[in-house]
């Protein structure tokens, strides 16, 4: 269900002429509460990161549920104001830096953030492109269209497939533009990301898997029988299609995450390494 409450203004007037492209500040306290409730309190993973922290609409209440919060804010004036607001909170570390240039923590961490819409894909890549990092889960605000694309049944890009092999992505609810200042021109959504505890493909094999995904999803509408030919023998293709429960005319993009894992494990077990697609960097 969408959040569509009459928003409550923050105590601090937002200068909408200075915010980064695609950055819309939360003004709805019920939305903040919903995000914190979803993120939960996890004593075994005490570190949480707020990306695009702004004036701290999420940072300050998040600090009441976590032992440590990193508030990442690239704008010097926003960061300075947040430091003043957080000076009585010893567990908040305000980091004035571009998140895309920042080194991620080496300990398990979560992300609870209203990320800038303009760089949402880049931020998601920072968190999920390399599944061996300690990133555990996230509760994010992003564009509704982005959240729908990430959670759609059909997977047509290698990057999205790789994310969904190791992480569960779920669109929790849409959000009214009136929950932000300035109000975005499109609806937003809460996107939840959770690391899979027992993925079929080991995270350490992400380069090999991404190589397979890159090659096969180069033409996502191509029939499976054709896409498999560069990797598998005709006999292997027949057995693989039967195991998948699909015919050779089904498009590559029709494969589910589990079916992709079956394709990859079949390649690992039955195809000589010299026939494997080149590893992705």
Looking at the structure, do residues 51 and 136 belong to the same domain, yes or no?
A: yes
Q: Are residues 65 and 105 in the same domain?
A: yes
Give how many domains the chain has, as a whole number.
2
Q: Verify that 145 and 250 share a domain, yes or no.
A: no
Interval 20-56: pLDDT, tens = 555 788 999 999 999 999 998 766 668 999 999 999 9
Averaged pLDDT, 225-241: 95
Residues 171 and 218 reside in one and the same domain = no
Q: What is the pLDDT of residue 124?
A: 98
Last residue of a domain, one of 195, 229, 261: 195
Whole-number Å distance between alpha carbons of 241 and 263: 9
Q: Report yes or no on 10 lying in a domain.
A: no
- Whether 279 maps to a domain, the answer reads no
Q: Are residues 118 and 242 in the same domain?
A: no
Residues 187, 262 within the same domain: no
Query: pLDDT tens digits, residue range 138-165?
Result: 999 999 999 999 999 999 999 999 999 9
Q: Determine, yes or no, domain membership for 173.
A: yes
Q: Is residue 187 part of a domain?
A: yes
* Residue burial 73-92, b: 16+ Cβ < 10 Å; e: rest: bbbeebbebbbebbeebeeb
248 in a domain, yes or no? yes
Q: Are residues 59 and 184 in the same domain?
A: yes
Question: 26 pairs with which residues across the strands?
Answer: 180
Of the two residues 180 and 17, the one the predictor is more confident about is 180
Q: How confident is the model at residue 14 (pLDDT cuts 50, 70, 90)?
A: very low
Clarify whether residues 145 and 233 are in a common domain: no
CATH code for position 231? 1.10.8
List 223's β-bridge partners, or say none.
251
Q: Are residues 188 and 224 in the same domain?
A: no
By the 8 A CB rule, do 49 and 70 touch?
A: yes
Residue that is last in its domain, among 173, 195, 217? 195
* Shared domain check, 104 and 44: yes
> Do 213 and 178 share a domain, yes or no?
no
Torsion of CA 198, 244, 241, 280, to 10 degrees: -30
Strands 135-143 and 188-195: antiparallel
Are residues 84 and 174 both part of a single domain? yes
- Checking if the pLDDT of 228 tops 50, the result is yes
Q: Is residue 275 part of a domain?
A: no
Domain assignment present for 118: yes
The per-residue b/e assignment along 20-31, b for 16 or more CB within 10 angstroms, e otherwise, is beebbbbbbeeb
Indicate the residue among 142, 167, 195 that finishes a domain.
195
Residue 180: give the domain boundaries: 25-195
Residue 86 predicted with pLDDT over 60: yes
pLDDT for position 16:
40
In this structure, is residue 278 part of a structural domain?
Answer: no
């Amino acid at each position: 269900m969408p959040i569509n409450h009459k928003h409550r203004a923050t105590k601090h007037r937002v200068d909408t002429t200075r915010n980064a492209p695609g950055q819309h500040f939360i003004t709805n306290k019920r939305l903040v509460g919903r995000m914190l409730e979803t993120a939960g309190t996890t004593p075994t993973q005490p570190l949480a990161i707020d990306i695009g922290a702004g004036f701290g609409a999420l940072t300050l209440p998040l600090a009441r549920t976590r032992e440590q919060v990193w508030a990442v804010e690239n704008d010097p004036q926003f960061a300075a104001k947040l430091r003043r607001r957080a000076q009585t909170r010893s567990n908040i570390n305000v980091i004035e830096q571009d998140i895309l240039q920042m080194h991620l923590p080496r300990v398990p961490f979560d992300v609870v953030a209203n990320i800038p819409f303009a760089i949402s894909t880049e931020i998601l890549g920072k968190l999920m492109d390399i599944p061996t990092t300690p990133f555990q889960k996230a509760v994010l605000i992003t564009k509704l269209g982005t959240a729908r694309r990430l959670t759609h049944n059909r997977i047509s890009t290698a990057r999205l497939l790789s994310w969904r092999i190791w992480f569960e992505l779920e669109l929790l609810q849409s959000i009214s533009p009136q929950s932000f200042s300035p109000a975005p021109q499109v609806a937003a959504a809460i996107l939840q990301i959770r690391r899979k505890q027992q993925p079929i493909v080991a995270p350490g094999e992400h380069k090999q898997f991404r190589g397979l995904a890159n090659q096969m999803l180069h033409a996502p509408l191509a029939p499976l029988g054709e896409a498999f030919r560069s990797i598998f023998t005709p006999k292997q293709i027949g057995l693989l299609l039967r195991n998948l429960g699909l015919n050779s005319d089904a498009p590559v993009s029709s494969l589910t995450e589990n079916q992709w894992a079956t394709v990859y494990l079949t390649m690992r077990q039955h195809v000589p390494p010299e026939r494997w697609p080149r590893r992705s960097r």
